[in-house]
Homo-oligomer: A and B are copies of this chain.
């Protein structure tokens, strides 16, 4: 099913309105979600709508949050998201970071008491549009085992760094700190395929290619896969995201991060509130004239794009390039929804009394 972007946008806004979100929040949350669908990261877009609704039904998402700054200096702040959608809490926090950066050169905001914030890239790009370097990260419910462990203590904890270029599109490094994102595992589960060795381990800590191994005590592995190939580095990056997002803000961290799925209860006696994010912005012209930076970044991009490659037909991919190509394609040709998601959205529409997507 291929849905034109404007139709999916209206539909998604109606869902958020039915949830009780304000008009402004519904528009913003939709913009974040659709950015993911447009950019080809299907796991983080409207495929998650019914999940948000279920969390709202269980009163774990607050549709009318009072988001506020609870602690700050000139260039740092902590935001309490009041259990709101991360889709609106994170842009609120990023806007504060951008405002601080405009005045002081940089701004950094740690967020507690939030929920899933969509793709990190959306938030980092808010800074890039202001000629700033954008940082965005979030912790997430535990699926990943640290090196040597056989229990899940960390989320796939993505980090994103985004840089404005000149004639080229921005460089956007937006990545899970696990060897494979959970979305890729879900695709393998749905299609009944095995996954490569090095993505997951079973409950005993052995590599397995069974994408369902997480249901029987298995774990995703950190980037690097095993100690010999640097999984302690993936663990270290994931720990960094967890500490900046969770420990620094007073959110939950490690195994206490509440699950995204509504059928699992949050852990008892959590040390913090909700999940945590960390967002930052630095003015490029806080370091050198923006035009000079962009000219050099263009030169960087050009050099990497023209690198000698193993297969001459497969050039080096600049981070952010494939997502931009997907965005251009899908804006024009519509957003593909797999059957399971289309069915999910239809049932959601019926339940909430919204006009379903046209088939």
Contact = CB atoms under 8 A, between A and B. Distances in A.
Contacts of A223: 223-224, 230, 233-234
A62 to B, nearest CB: 22
Given A71-B288, A153-B304, A179-B224, A236 B319 contact: yes
Interface of A: 71-78, 103-106, 108, 110, 133, 146-151, 153, 161, 163, 171, 173, 175-177, 179-180, 196, 198-199, 204-205, 223-225, 228-230, 232-237, 239-240, 242-244, 247-250, 253-255, 271-272, 282-284, 286-288, 292-293, 296-297, 299-300, 303-304, 307-311, 314-317, 319
A108 B106 contact: yes
B149 A300 contact: no
Nearest to A233: B175
A101 to B, nearest CB: 8
A286 B76 contact: yes
Nearest to A237: B173
A247 B297 contact: yes
A196 B228 contact: yes
Contact of A149 (B147, B180, B271, B308): B308
Contacts of A228: 196, 198
B151 A308 contact: yes
B148 A315 contact: yes
B225 A229 contact: yes
Contacts of A105: 72-76, 108
A204 B71 CA distance: 54
Contacts of A153: 303-304, 307
A211 to B, nearest CB: 14
Contacts of A106: 75-76, 106, 108
A253 B171 CA distance: 15
